[in-house]
Amino acid sequence: MSTTESPERPVPEQAESPEPAEAAPAPAPRRSRRALRRLTLAVALGLVAGTCAGYLVQAGRAPDKLPPLSQPSLAQAKGNGPAPLSAAQDHQAKVDGDLRKLLLKRPGGSRANPAIESDDGWLDLSAYAELYIKPDDAFRNLVGDEFRRAAITGWIESGNRRVEIRLIQYRQVESQSAQEAVFDDRSYAVDDAHTRSWPIPGTGDGEFFVHDRPRSGSVYEAEAHAYRGDIAMEMWVGDTKPVSPARVRELARAQMERL
């Protein structure tokens, strides 16, 4: 078969070649999944081989001499052991008893406080949560804080001065709930420049606060917050005239001394 010659095609003029660009760095070699598996297998085989070699070396050694089984007898102390603590000295026995007995007694000449919504001095979880502005949120928070029980007392003294004291006990399995509750209450107590605070004598972190302006209507308020162990103490004092800091300090100190 004859072939026809193709016509010559014009060769385009070659443009001046630009300056060679810098060569891009070669990509780092990627290790395949199979190589990783092989490497892992090699490490495992090396560990097995090392373990076997260790057993062989240990088997070739002479056994160590065991220490004698007999030990010198220890002299025991003689005499009677310490007497068990009384309920008054044993803090745990005291706080696990009737929590209401740790509350301050009503002073002589005082009257019952009608704001205390408890017939027997106890506050269950629901009743205590109702004392908050948002009871539903408080209920959930108290469950998470391992609320155990609460006791309450109060009275009216010196005309219109109302006193209310609560003891809230927590289980404290997961956290220091009593301490955390007191720290939260203290942070809410200082809400403006018209609040003064002092430490409660005999407590590490306890404080009481006096609000120099009425906070609800025409009522002046003061409050105290402290804790001891698994019990948090809340105290509220209200009056139609400014509350004396000395009276709040004395009530808070006396209450904490009972815990």
For residue 58, give the DSSP letter.
Answer: H
Collapsed DSSP state (helix, strand, coil) of residue 46: helix
**Which pLDDT does position 33 carry in this prediction?**
38
**In terms of Cα–Cα distance, which of 208, 187, 206, 219 is closest to 259?**
206
> How far apart are the C-alpha atoms of 224 and 206, rounded to whole Å?
8
Partnered with residue 207 across adjacent β-strands are: 199, 225
**Each residue's pLDDT expressed in tens, for the chain with a length of 259 residues:** 444 444 444 444 444 444 444 544 544 443 333 444 444 444 444 555 566 666 666 767 777 777 777 777 777 777 777 777 666 666 677 778 899 999 999 999 999 998 888 889 999 999 999 999 999 999 999 999 999 999 999 999 988 899 999 999 999 898 899 999 999 888 888 767 789 999 999 998 899 999 999 987 889 999 999 999 999 999 999 999 999 999 999 999 999 999 9
> How far apart are the C-alpha atoms of 106 and 253, rounded to whole Å?
15
Secondary structure E strands in 158-219: 161-170, 195-199, 207-211
Distance of CA 218 to the CA centre of its chain: 37
Record the tokens describing residue 121, joined without a space.
Answer: 């001095």
**Which pLDDT does position 89 carry in this prediction?**
66
Burial state string for 107-146 with b = 16 or more CB within 10 A and e = fewer than 16: eeeeeebeebebeebebeeeebbeeeeeeeebbeebeebb
**Which pLDDT does position 7 carry in this prediction?**
46
**Which pLDDT does position 48 carry in this prediction?**
53
Q: What is each CA distance from 213 to 70, 74, 164, 209, 221, in whole angstroms?
A: 79, 71, 20, 12, 8
Q: For residues 245 and 253, is the Cβ–Cβ distance under 8 A?
A: no
Q: For residues 196 and 245, is the Cβ–Cβ distance under 8 A?
A: yes
Q: For residues 164 and 115, is the Cβ–Cβ distance under 8 A?
A: yes
Per DSSP, helices labelled H in the chain are: 33-60, 91-95, 125-129, 135-144, 177-189, 245-257
**Which pLDDT does position 61 carry in this prediction?**
77
**Which pLDDT does position 88 carry in this prediction?**
63
**Which pLDDT does position 39 carry in this prediction?**
46
Model-level pTM?
0.66
